[in-house]
C-alpha cells in the first residue's frame, strides 16, 4: 500500500504508513450524526483503507456516557445515526466491521483487568485527559470513568489486536498509554500475546466550523453529512471569510478564510482552487461567487450520501442486521483476546 491512498502523511516519527497486514481500529463517539469535519478528517481515510487492511469501526457508546452521565437518553438513537452515516458514505460492512462498544463485553472485561496495570497518577498525567478535564471544567469532580478513559481506549485497541490507529496528534498520548499496557500484559504473559500499535496521523488539517471556530454540533457551526441542499446553502452563506474584504474588487485574505479551508478539503480541481486563491488575493473575486462554487462542490459531495442515507433510514432492519453481524464478528475477535489476557493474569484454568 502506498502513500497515495491517504495522501501525503505528516512528517515525523509519530505517524506511520498503512501496510496490507495492518489491523486498523477507529471509530466515533455517538453524540449525534457526523459532519463534514469528520468526513475530511477521518471518514475519507477509512474509505481509502477499506479493502486494503482489516478494519473495524467501533461506535464508542460507552465513551459517550462519560461526559454526560446525567443525560443518557440519546445514546442508542445516536448509535443508529452514526451507523447510518457510515453506510451512507460507502462503508461496506462486508469489508469493514462496524461494531458497538457496549455490545462487546470482552472490552469491559479487558478494561477492568487493565485498571490494575496503570496507576492513578499515570492517568492524571495523561495530556489528553488533562486537556479534556480543563475543557469540560471538571477539575476534581472528574467522573472516574473519564479518568479511566485511556484504559478503556487501550482495551478497545488491543481488544482487536489493532496495529494502526488513525488519530489526531492530540491523541498520541493515548497510543503511548495503550502500548505501555500492551507491554505490561506481554511481560505478565511472558510472551507477545498483544501487538503494539502505531498512530496514523491524518494529513488533513482540522476543518473549522462555518464561523471559523472549532466545528461542534452544539455550536451549530458544522455541516452535517446528512445536510439538505437548503442547509448547505444557508451554512455556506454564513461562512466566515475575510471581514476586510468588503467589495469583490478589493484584495482578500485566503488564510483563515473558511470557504478556502472547505475548498482545500473537498474541491477535487486543485488547479482551479489555486487560481481562485490568486484571484481572491489580487482582488476581483467576490465572496458570493466563491461561496457559490463551494456550495456546488459540497452539494455534489453530500447529495449521494443524503440520498443513500434516506434510503437506509427507511430500512431499519437492515442497519440493525449490519450491527448484529458486526458485533458477532467483533465478539469472536475480542473474546479471543480476552482469553489471552486472562491467561496473562493467570485467570484461566478453572471453571469456565
95 binds a copy of itself, rule: CB under 8 A: no
155 contacts 107 by C-beta, under 8 angstroms: yes
303-341 in b/e form (b: 16+ CB < 10 A) is: eebbebbeebeeeeeebeebbeebbeebbebbeebbebb
Of positions 97, 102, 153, 179, contacts a copy of itself by CB under 8 A: 102
Bridge partners (DSSP) listed for residue 15: 199
Of positions 19, 21, 120, 304, contacts a copy of itself by CB under 8 A: 120
45 binds a copy of itself, rule: CB under 8 A: no
Closest CA to 14 of 139, 164, 120, 132: 164
The nearer residue to a copy of itself, 110 or 254, going by C-beta atoms, is: 110
Of positions 3, 21, 95, 116, contacts a copy of itself by CB under 8 A: 116
Of positions 310, 320, 332, 336, contacts a copy of itself by CB under 8 A: 320
The nearer residue to a copy of itself, 150 or 252, going by C-beta atoms, is: 150
Using the contact rule CB under 8 A, the part of the chain among 66-74, 224-232, 286-294, 296-304 near a copy of itself is 66-74
Those residues with Cβ within 8 angstroms of residue 149's Cβ, 6 or more apart along the chain or in another chain: 63, 66, 129
293 binds a copy of itself, rule: CB under 8 A: no
Using the contact rule CB under 8 A, the part of the chain among 69-77, 85-93, 221-229, 269-277 near a copy of itself is 69-77
2 binds a copy of itself, rule: CB under 8 A: no
123 binds a copy of itself, rule: CB under 8 A: yes
Of positions 111, 153, 158, 221, contacts a copy of itself by CB under 8 A: 111
314 binds a copy of itself, rule: CB under 8 A: no
Give me 131's grid cell.
486537556
187 contacts 200 by C-beta, under 8 angstroms: no
What's the closest the beta carbon of residue 99 comes to a copy of itself, in angstroms? 9
From residue 139 to residue 178, what is the string marking binding to a copy of itself with x (rule CB under 8 A)?
-xxxxxxxxx--xx--------------------------
72 binds a copy of itself, rule: CB under 8 A: yes
Of positions 327, 330, 334, 337, contacts a copy of itself by CB under 8 A: 327
Estimate to the nearest angstrom the gap between the alpha carbon of 324 and the chain centroid. 21
Q: What are phi and psi of 220, to 5 degrees?
A: 65, 20
Of positions 34, 53, 113, 193, contacts a copy of itself by CB under 8 A: 113
What's the closest the beta carbon of residue 110 comes to a copy of itself, in angstroms? 9
161: left (phi over 0), alpha (psi -120 to 50) or beta: left
Query: How far apart are the C-alpha atoms of 263 and 236, rounded to whole Å?
Result: 11
First-to-final CA distance of the chain: 42
337 binds a copy of itself, rule: CB under 8 A: no
120-133 in b/e form (b: 16+ CB < 10 A) is: eeebeebebbeebb
317 binds a copy of itself, rule: CB under 8 A: no
35 contacts 217 by C-beta, under 8 angstroms: yes
Query: How far apart are the C-alpha atoms of 4 and 153, rounded to whole Å?
Result: 29
The nearer residue to a copy of itself, 144 or 336, going by C-beta atoms, is: 144
205 contacts 262 by C-beta, under 8 angstroms: no
121 binds a copy of itself, rule: CB under 8 A: yes
Residue 194 is given by DSSP the state S
Q: Which residues bind a copy of itself (CB under 8 A)?
A: 61-62, 65-66, 69, 72-76, 79-80, 100, 102-103, 105-106, 108-109, 111-113, 115-121, 123, 140-148, 151-152, 188, 320, 323-324, 327, 342, 344-352
Amino acid at each position: 500500500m502506498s502513500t497515495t491512498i491517504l495522501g501525503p502523511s505528516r512528517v515525523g516519527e509519530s505517524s506511520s504508513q498503512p501496510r496490507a497486514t495492518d489491523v486498523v481500529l477507529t471509530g466515533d463517539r455517538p453524540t449525534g450524526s457526523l459532519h463534514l469535519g469528520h468526513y475530511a478528517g477521518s471518514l475519507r481515510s477509512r474509505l481509502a483503507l477499506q479493502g486494503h487492511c482489516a478494519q473495524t469501526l467501533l461506535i464508542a457508546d460507552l465513551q459517550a456516557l462519560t461526559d454526560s452521565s446525567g443525560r443518557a437518553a440519546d445514546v442508542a438513537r445516536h448509535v443508529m445515526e452514526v451507523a447510518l452515516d457510515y453506510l451512507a458514505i460507502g462503508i461496506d460492512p462486508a469489508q469493514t466491521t462496524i461494531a458497538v462498544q457496549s455490545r462487546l463485553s470482552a472490552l469491559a472485561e479487558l478494561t477492568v483487568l487493565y485498571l490494575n496495570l496503570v496507576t492513578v497518577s499515570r492517568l492524571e498525567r495523561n495530556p489528553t485527559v488533562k486537556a479534556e478535564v480543563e475543557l469540560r471544567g471538571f477539575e476534581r469532580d472528574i467522573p472516574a470513568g473519564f479518568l479511566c478513559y485511556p484504559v478503556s481506549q487501550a482495551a478497545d485497541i488491543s481488544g482487536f489486536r489493532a496495529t494502526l490507529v488513525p488519530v489526531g496528534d492530540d491523541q498520541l498520548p493515548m497510543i503511548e498509554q495503550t502500548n505501555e499496557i500492551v507491554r505490561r500484559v506481554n511481560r505478565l504473559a511472558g510472551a507477545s500475546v498483544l501487538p503494539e500499535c502505531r498512530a496514523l496521523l491524518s494529513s488533513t488539517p482540522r476543518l473549522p466550523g462555518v464561523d471559523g471556530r472549532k466545528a461542534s454540533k452544539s455550536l451549530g457551526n458544522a455541516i452535517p453529512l446528512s445536510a439538505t441542499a437548503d442547509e448547505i446553502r444557508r451554512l455556506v452563506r454564513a461562512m466566515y471569510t475575510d471581514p476586510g474584504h468588503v467589495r469583490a474588487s478589493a484584495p482578500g485574505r485566503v488564510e483563515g478564510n473558511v470557504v478556502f479551508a472547505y475548498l482545500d478539503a473537498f474541491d477535487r480541481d486543485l488547479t482551479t482552487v489555486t487560481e481562485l486563491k490568486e484571484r481572491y488575493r489580487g482582488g476581483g473575486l467576490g465572496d458570493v461567487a466563491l461561496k457559490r462554487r463551494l456550495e456546488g462542490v459540497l452539494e455534489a459531495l453530500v447529495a449521494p450520501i443524503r440520498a443513500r442515507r434516506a434510503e437506509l433510514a427507511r430500512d431499519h432492519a437492515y442497519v440493525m442486521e449490519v450491527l448484529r453481524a458486526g458485533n458477532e464478528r467483533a465478539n469472536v475477535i475480542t473474546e479471543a483476546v480476552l482469553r489471552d489476557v486472562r491467561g496473562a493474569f493467570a485467570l484461566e484454568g478453572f471453571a469456565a
